[in-house]
Structure 1
Amino acid sequence: MKKFYILSIVFLLFTTFSFAQITVSPLSVEKDVRAGEEFIATINVIGGNTTQNVNIELYQMTQDLSGNFDYVKATSDNFLYSHWIEFPNSITVSPRSTTPIEVGVNIPSNAPFGTYNFILMITPEVETSGTIGIIIRYAIRITVHVQGTVITKVEVEDLKVVPDEEGKPVIQATIANGSSYDLVVSTEAILRDKSGRMIERLPLKSPYMEKNNITAQRILKGNKVVFSGKPAYLLAPGEYKVNLFVNYSNRQKVFTYDINVPEEGFNFTPPIELALILDNTEFSYELYAGAVKTFVINLQNMSNQNVTVQVGGEEFVSLPKDRSLLSWITLRSPSSFGVNAQRTSRVILSINVPKDVENGAYYGKIVLNAYDESGEFLSQKKVNVETIIGEVNYDVELVSSNYEKIEGSGIFSALIKNSGERYIIPKGSLSILDNDGVSIGVYDLFPSSQEWLVPSQETMLIGEVPILEEDGYRYILTIYNNEQRLKVFEGELM
């Protein structure tokens, strides 16, 4: 077993940075105007700690299929509306003072109705004098809506089901904005079987929406964006129907499609797994001594045969007995019941917390087994249940670490133990240092599964690293619970 030490890391960068930066406000201006009108938009530039020259350039806004926006320098050749806007090409900003930029927008009397976006790229000239300079550019959006007869045109150019990187089905819709105005769009799909019975309802999002955690996407006029969503219950090849609801400008348009999902190219759930599908496999509650909490496990039989479901319980491996909550759980529905093909059911349970319970986290598993009409086992699902009483802490121990050369690559493994009071889903980040203390790289370590690691349980984190031919290397291992950093360890690698 290798020696290891707990290390607190503070990163110090002995380099002088130039923070003589400006700030700009507002970052966007939006106006409703009529053809022939003009207006002045004022953009305020606040100086840093030095006098700075600031350049101002006109860009146009573009958009790709993922919904992301980009900016292209505008010229009279590539941007027909560049002559609508006037502004100084540069200004001088005094330290800690506000300098206004007056932007004149003159709408021609024959301007077509619609949305027009102008981007002013404001860039300070920073003299770093040998230091490392950080230059921040500001893209100020000026959006002009020329009012008139509003004609909105939203079309779905394509709707299909495609496999993701794991072969799981993804519903993908390409939505085009053929309007003269920008539109803010949200979409939702209802998946139905070929007879029209609803299977599930799910939102479709663009990559831009996912990245920014938003529920709607602005689509520039004349542009199109791809929206997608992963259905949980599209579990087999065959014929389906999709109702696509497209919401925009306080309106809604519904598109209906008949689609055929082939078997080739997809990684569908095995047929026996369709007999028992749960809507939730994790329940966590913060309760108090003497509390009673009722919860429901909803399930579906998506197979083409009737099944019998039996309900039981199971302890987490290595969990101390005094941290089990199985004795607190009461089954309020039958422990064995039938579910017809393509039908739903539910299991009702309650947690009865003892009055003399100590603070901490308590765990147990609900186990559901499905059998066919002849009694043959089909499928099993497990539901994790957690109850938290009072305050709990997170902690982790490094039990051992090891480096091996296996089949032309280096493998680093770390055996860790959850020494805290609550479950974690661990992962690791490994920095390898040479004899001079210089990092040669940072590498990810993962467990074999993303299951709960409850208190006192151990798991192995493994990752590929370079082949190291010499001794003297050290490592810095950071353990995370999802994205939360728990603890840092240091040790000798070879």
Structure 2
Amino acid sequence: MKKFYILSIVFLLFTTFSFTQITVSPLSVEKDVRAGEEFIATINVIGGNTTQNVNIELYLLSQDFDGNFDYVEATPDNFLYSNWIEFPNSITVSPRSTTPVEVGVNIPSNAPFGTYNFILMITPEVETSGTIGIIIRYAIRITVHVQGTVITMVEVEDVKVVPDGEGKPVIEATISNGSSYDLVISAEAILRDKSGMMIERLPLKSSYMEKNNITTQRVLKGNKVVFSGKPTYLLAPGDYKVNLFVNYSNRQRVFTYDINVPEEGFNFTPPTELALILDNTEFSHELYAGAVKTFVINLQNMSNQNVTVQVGGEEFASLPKDRSLLSWITLRSPSSFTVNAQRTSRVILSINVPKEVENGAYYGKIFLNAYDESGKFLSQKKVNVETIIGEVNYDVELVSSNYEKIEGSGIFSALIKNTGERYIIPKGSLSILDSDGVSIGVYSLLPSTQEWLVPSQETMLIGEVPILEENGYRYILTIYNNEQRLKAFEGELM
């Protein structure tokens, strides 16, 4: 008996599974009509290499709280508007030819204003031959907007702050579409302290928006979807205000909520860290000999006490002295200053590139220390600064590698050195080969931190691998800078 896996194709066309499969176009049709009108939508079914019978069924469109769409087979009981649409239940498609399917949509004269979605599920029939196959079916969306007096009803049913899997705060808002029409919605939030001072502004997205990397969400009429966002500066329990901006149909509504965030269940930033929050800890500039570049480090004191901030410079460990840019940096603001509680400030610096300088990348760190009014140290933040002159190259060297059995698992470690001219954030991919040269698996190697590895610096990449009881294994270690492949190394594992 032949087994089949069914794939539903929704608004996306895949044609690489099999040349014997059909393809369908268009995948969606959208019409604005008046009550009493009718129209015909033509769906083209294109044959593969064989003659195929194709079934066509009516489904209705549904949506969950995350914004994801699903399909339910339509019946007269669960879909009152199924008699508005007419189409053939099956067609025969000849090889490599186009068969048009005419879909008639007849809107009753007494049809209520609003949006109506019809899903035509197009599925080819297959013959059984004792093998495994793939059935590709297509969900064709036909959306009808019956025009009339438009009354939009968008409400926010609930706004709250909940912990994510790591205990970090997440703002959640449940937005409902009480309109007769589907609406395309986006949402933003402004987080304020209890006195009304703005802390930050952030977008809220549904899970569907995050998954598909889009900025708006279609919310079906009568449905509700949860929008959420992770604030950067909600750093302590207490009372807050949230202004929620909901955008839809070229309109906007603003909702305001008072929210209490408890300490229990959350993993908040330690109080001492609240004294010094930076908006950016990395600066990279492409300059030229003799250039001058000014940049600003913005900071916030989110604690409940005034603090003194002191600014200084620091070299990267192991960086060659001729690659330091600290002597190029001039502080344009005071090196010591006070930041009042719940207030902001900034540090202004400029880079003055010498007129005689070699091509390459140059580095330095700016540190900021925060102290309370008695002089007690509270927190330190460091800012990485890079200046690139001309063209630079990337390179890496494998210094050593090691395999050990530790507490019931295998551990592979690789000591690498940045021998290029620019910093990298390294990671490794380890393929282990047996004595026959066959790969037994590919394993990730990671550094202990995601910090810059500047030229001449070394770091250890470590990963868990299987326990190997015999000799004769080899490895291929590929080093990456983020997702950029740098170099591969081979060696004996045992």
Q: In 1, are the aligned partners of 2:6 and 2:137 still within 8 Å (CA)?
A: no
Shift of 1:443: 2.7
- CA drift of 1:131 comes to 8.7
Does the CA-based 8 Å contact 2:171-2:231 persist in structure 1? Answer: yes
Distance 1:372 1:126 in 2: 76
After superposing the two structures, state which structure 1 stretch, 276-285 or 68-77, moved more: 68-77
TM-score (norm 1): 0.90
Query: Which residue does the alignment assign to 1:267?
Result: 267
Segment of structure 1 superposing worse, 83-92 or 273-282? 83-92
Distance change in 2, residues 1:53/1:3 (3 Å): closer
Cα distance in structure 2, aligned partners of 1:438 and 1:60: 49
Change (3 A) 1:8 1:402: farther
RMSD: 6.7
After TM superposition, the structure 1 = structure 2 runs for residues 319-338 of structure 1, keeping only pairs within 5 Å, are 319-338=319-338
- 2:9 and 2:138 in contact (8 A); partners too: no
Q: Answer with 313-322 or 81-90: which moved more.
A: 81-90
Shift of 1:46: 3.5
* Bigger mean CA deviation after superposition, 421-430 or 203-212: 421-430
Matching residue of 2:79:
79
Relative to structure 1, the CA distance from residue 412 to residue 125 in structure 2 (aligned partners, 3 Å threshold; closer, same or farther) is: farther
* Counterpart residue number, 2:251: 251
Asked whether the equivalents of residues 3 and 492 of structure 1 are also in contact (C-alpha less than 8 Å), the reply is: no
Q: Deviations over 1:167-207 (max 9, x none)?
A: 11111111121222111111111111112121111111112
* Distance in 2 of aligned mates of 1:109 and 1:75: 22
- Change beyond 3 A, Cα 1:479–1:77: farther
**How big is the shift at 1:14?**
22
Structure 2 distance, partners of 1:259, 1:3, is 54
Q: How far off is 1:3 after superposition? A: 47
1:51 offset after TM fit, Å? 4.4
Supply the distance in 2 between the matched residues of 1:191 and 1:341 (Cα, whole angstroms). 17
1:134 match:
134
Gaps of 5+ in 1: none
Mapped to 1, the partners of 2:113 and 2:9 lie a distance apart of 59
Distance 2:354 2:277 in 1: 32
Q: Deviations over 1:335-370 (max 9, x none)?
A: 111111111111111122223323222221111111
1:419 is aligned to 419
Kindly indicate whether the alpha-carbon contact (under 8 Å) linking 1:6 and 1:490 is maintained by their aligned counterparts in 2. Answer: no
Deviations 1:73-114 (A, max 9, x none): 333343332222222233344444433221111222232221
Q: Report the Cα offset of residue 31 of structure 1.
A: 0.6
Give the corresponding residue for 2:486. 486
Distance 1:252 1:2, change over 3 A: closer
- Structure 2 CA distance for partners of 1:407 and 1:259, relative to 1, 3 Å: same
Rounded Cα–Cα distance in structure 2 between residues aligned with 1:167 and 1:97? 57
8 Å CA contact 1:307–1:371 kept in 2: the answer is yes
Q: Retained in 2: the 8 A contact 1:294–1:350?
A: yes
**Alpha-carbon offset, residue 133 of structure 1:** 5.6
* 1:147 Cα deviation from its structure 2 partner: 1.5
Q: Distance in 2 between matches of 1:141 and 1:295?
A: 51
Q: Distance in 1 between matches of 2:13 and 2:211?
A: 30
Question: How far did 1:438 drift?
Answer: 4.0
Separation in structure 2 between the aligned mates of residue 103 and residue 354 of structure 1, nearest angstrom: 72
For the 8 Å contact 1:434–1:473, the answer to whether it is kept is yes
1:135 shift after superposition? 4.9
Compared CA separation, residues 24 and 391, structure 1 to 2 (3 A): farther
Matched, 1:279 2:266: no
Partner secondary structure for residue 231 of structure 1: coil
Deviation at 1:492, TM superposition (A): 2.8
Show the counterpart of 1:193: 193
Q: Summarize the Cα distance change of 1:3–1:245 in structure 2 as closer, same or farther, 3 Å threshold.
A: closer
2:488 and 2:130 mapped to 1: Cα distance? 35
Task: Note if contact 1:409-1:466 (Cα within 8 Å) is conserved in structure 2.
Answer: yes
Task: Give the deviation of 1:32 after TM superposition.
Answer: 0.9
* Local SS of the residue matching 1:273: helix
Cα displacement string for residues 108-129 of structure 1 (whole angstroms, at most 9, x for unaligned residues): 2232221111222334457798
Query: Displacement, 1:292?
Result: 1.6
Q: CA deviation at 1:386?
A: 1.6
Q: Quote the Cα distance in structure 2 between the aligned partners of 1:375 and 1:403.
A: 48
2:151 partner SS = coil
- Does the 8 A contact of 2:183 with 2:249 survive in 1? yes
1:401 Cα deviation after fit: 2.1
- C-alpha offsets along residues 424-462 of structure 1, whole Å, 9 cap, x if unaligned? 222223333344444433332221111112222221122
C-alpha distance after superposition, 1:9-42 (max 9, x if no partner): 9999999974344443222111111222111111
Q: Kindly indicate whether the alpha-carbon contact (under 8 Å) linking 2:309 and 2:336 is maintained by their aligned counterparts in 1.
A: yes
Residue ranges of structure 2 left out of the alignment (5+ in a row): none
Tell which deviates more after alignment, 284-293 or 363-372.
Answer: 284-293
Name the stretch that deviates more: 475-484 or 12-21: 12-21
More displaced, 418-427 or 376-385? Answer: 418-427
Take 2:6 and 2:361, find their aligned partners in 1: how far apart are those partners?
A: 26
Pairwise CA distance, 1:288: 2.3
Give the 3 Å change call, closer, same or farther, for CA 92–475 of structure 1 in structure 2.
farther
The answer (yes or no) to whether the contact 1:405–1:467 under 8 Å persists in 2 is: yes
- Is contact 1:298–1:345 with CA below 8 Å preserved after alignment? yes
CA contact (8 A) 1:433 1:439 kept: yes
Does structure 2 conserve the Cα–Cα contact (< 8 Å) formed by 1:126 and 1:133? no
Cα distance change of structure 1 residues 287 and 270 upon mapping to structure 2, 3 Å threshold: same
Cα distance in 1 for residues equivalent to 2:335 and 2:5? 50
SS of equivalent residue, structure 1 residue 9 = strand
- CA distance change for structure 1 residues 328 and 14 in 2, over 3 Å: closer, same or farther? same
| Residue 268 of structure 1: how far off its partner (Å) | 0.9
SS of structure 1 residue aligned to 2:136: coil
The more displaced of 334-343 and 282-291 is 282-291
Deviates more, 1:51-60 or 1:383-392: 51-60
Bigger Cα displacement from structure 2, 364-373 vs 43-52: 43-52
Aligned 8 A contact 1:119 1:140 in 2 = yes
Tell me: CA distance 1:14–1:151, structure 2 relative to 1, closer, same or farther (3 Å). closer
Conserved? CA contact 1:6–1:488, under 8 Å: no
The alpha-carbon distance between structure 1 residues 427 and 83, as it changes in their structure 2 partners (threshold 3 A), is farther
Q: After alignment, is 415-424 or 51-60 more displaced?
A: 51-60
**Cα-to-partner distance string for 1:361-406 (whole Å, 9 max, x where unaligned):** 2221111111122222111111111222233333333222222221
